[in-house]
Structure 1
Amino acid sequence: MQSRSGQGYCGVHQDRQRTETNQIIGYIIKVRDLSGILYLVPTPIGNLGDITLRALETLKSVHLIASEDTRKTGVLLKHFEVKSKQISYHKFNERSRVDKILSVLSEGLDVAIVTDAGSPGISDPAQIIVQAAIEGGFTVTALPGATALIPALTASGLATDSFVFHGFLPTKRNLRDKVLKEISTTQHTSVLYESGNKLLQCLRELLEVCGDRQVVVAREISKLFEEYIRGTISELLDRSFVMKGEFVLLISGATSQAESIDDLYMVIDTMLQDGQSKDQIIEYMVQNHALTRNVVYKYLIENKRKNS
């Protein structure tokens, strides 16, 4: 009798534990269901017709839109009769906005992140809030849509099976040189964003480090005067074209036989050890290894400084 009674008590106790566990799981699921969703919503990069139906539905349904520029986004929202509230969210306040956005999400309300143009997080703010939302257990949903990167790549005529996107080149010299060196050695197509007033300088630097590669400059993507300028770096430097706005710059990858810049410097070192003159070395490297005179000259000066 005691044995049966003990088994009965044990069974009841296990059933009670199972019920409590199910209640806890149900509560967790309910809390998750009540949490808001963080949406990353692409906006047109030039042509308003590029916005998607899903993007519009999302912008109209969310409680809050966090915009890189509320004035520019306000024009877009007004055009499509979107009434959702806006707050600013840009590179100067993105960290301070995290608590506000997470607080809204925790109340079960959805938030959309938008930038001036294109997909949030691609050379624009979003990474910090996305990381914070994930750590907080919130759902993050990125909508497909407008971006300058992919159209420029697919229409460039360069290899699209593999590519490396660098965004805007760093302004700090050591970081900039590191990226340029990576571009010089990779066999993948490299893609950069660049502003019009810095484009020529960027092309000159690429010519020095990479040699005279095939490149494509894409401008005004999705707009009336969309343009693709193709040729070698030196050919583009000799051409004149409109420098307004932002550009997508695509650089062909190094061939499998291409020498890295370090390999070329070793050739110069060997020639120096053989006693060849500065002029002889410059002429040889320009003619046989597609380096510019400026690159060879700078290396010779640096080498002389190190050894003096």
Structure 2
Amino acid sequence: MNEPNQTKEVKMVSTLYIVPTPIGNLDDITLRALQILKQVELIVAEDTRRTGLLLQHFAINNRMISLHVHNEQKKTDQLITQLKQGISIALVSDAGTPIINDPGYHLVKYCHQAGILVVPLPGPCAAMTALSASGIASDRFCYEGFLPAKRKSRQDVLHGLTKNSRTLIFYESPHRLLETLADMVAIWGAKRYVVLARELTKTWESIYGLPVGELLDWVKFDENRYRGEMVLVVEGYRVAKNSKPVISCDVMKTLALLQQSLPLKKAAGITAEIYGLKNNTLYKYILEQQVSADNVIK
């Protein structure tokens, strides 16, 4: 007869466990995650060196192999074969919840197709951590991951999200943060509220929100404000009653250049197309500004 409080080791057969790991503070790992990492036959890690440090910290000595963007397709078939043979595997990424902007999607997909049990564990995720502390509406949100590195592609994505009413969540790298914020100002206007969550759960954690034009100036003031791992949480598009469109300085500069050789209506139409504005929005805005100016003069 077993002792009343005796803990039984869980028998794991043909199971892929998705195991989140801390995004900074190692104390954020769960007891269940530690149990799984100790008991599986194999740990599949994005970077075995980084995961090795985590395992060493918790005195876990288990077999690991790497699974990253360059070998995922090749390794997936091998892992499916091993799972079919009855072993249990834990999938981890460098930090946070696996699959979210990290390798492993193909492995999970083919496990489902092969009838292999997939068991996800709840745990750390930078996007959700930032959203929860942002003070921005969280009832409807859209995770966009990293924006494209090339400016034209990045601007195209931002144009496509201009009228999205959901809260938007982005990851961004330190060397592209200023460019991304500047593009947001140019495309969305300087008043869109954005929260920059940096180095979450780590020593230099910072969560700071401002209208994006002011946030760009705040970040520029100190290079330490754009170091480390960052999440941008952006307020969704809101249309206030009787509100006027926000026209950025870049839009007005482009319009002025085109007006040198084109009629106002034609120049406004081309500028609106370049910046993703609605047809005639810019033209009507300029006419309203001219009427306002005439009334002031009178």
TM-score, structure 1 as length reference: 0.74
User: Any conservation in 2 of the 1:44–1:51 contact (CA below 8 Å)?
Assistant: yes
Q: CA deviation at 1:214?
A: 0.8
Mapped to 2, the partners of 1:238 and 1:166 lie a distance apart of 24
Q: Deviations over 1:16-56 (max 9, x none)?
A: xxxxxxxxxxxxxxxxx995101111010000000000100
Matching residue of 2:285: none
Mapped to 1, the partners of 2:49 and 2:188 lie a distance apart of 41
Structure 1 residues 1-308: aligned runs within 5 Å = 36-172=14-150, 175-212=153-190, 213-239=192-218, 240-241=221-222, 242=224, 243-257=226-240, 289-298=245-254, 301=258, 303=270
User: Any conservation in 2 of the 1:70–1:88 contact (CA below 8 Å)?
Assistant: yes
Matching residue of 1:282: none
User: Any conservation in 2 of the 1:217–1:229 contact (CA below 8 Å)?
Assistant: yes
Query: What amino acid sits opposite 2:45 in the alignment?
Result: S
34-43 vs 148-157, which moves further: 34-43
In terms of Rg, which structure is larger? 1
Q: Which consecutive residues of structure 2, in runs of 5 or more, have no partner in the other structure?
A: 1-10, 259-266, 274-298
The DSSP-based 3-state class of the residue aligned with 2:200 is coil
Q: What is the RMSD computed on CA atoms of the aligned residues?
A: 2.4
Mapped to 2, the partners of 1:65 and 1:143 lie a distance apart of 14
Mapped to 2, the partners of 1:146 and 1:162 lie a distance apart of 20
Structure with more helix by fraction: 1
Mapped to 2, the partners of 1:122 and 1:198 lie a distance apart of 20
The DSSP-based 3-state class of the residue aligned with 2:194 is strand
Query: What amino acid sits opposite 1:245 in the alignment?
Result: G
Mapped to 2, the partners of 1:215 and 1:293 lie a distance apart of 19
Q: Deviations over 1:238-265 (max 9, x none)?
A: 1124222120001111113499xxxxxx
Q: CA deviation at 1:171?
A: 3.0
User: Any conservation in 1 of the 2:173–2:229 contact (CA below 8 Å)?
Assistant: yes
Matching residue of 1:279: none
The DSSP-based 3-state class of the residue aligned with 2:73 is coil
Query: What amino acid sits opposite 1:194 in the alignment?
Result: E
Q: Cα 1:295–1:130, aligned 2, differ >3 Å: closer, same or farther?
A: farther
Matched residue count = 246
Q: Deviations over 1:212-253 (max 9, x none)?
A: 211100011111221111111111111124222120001111
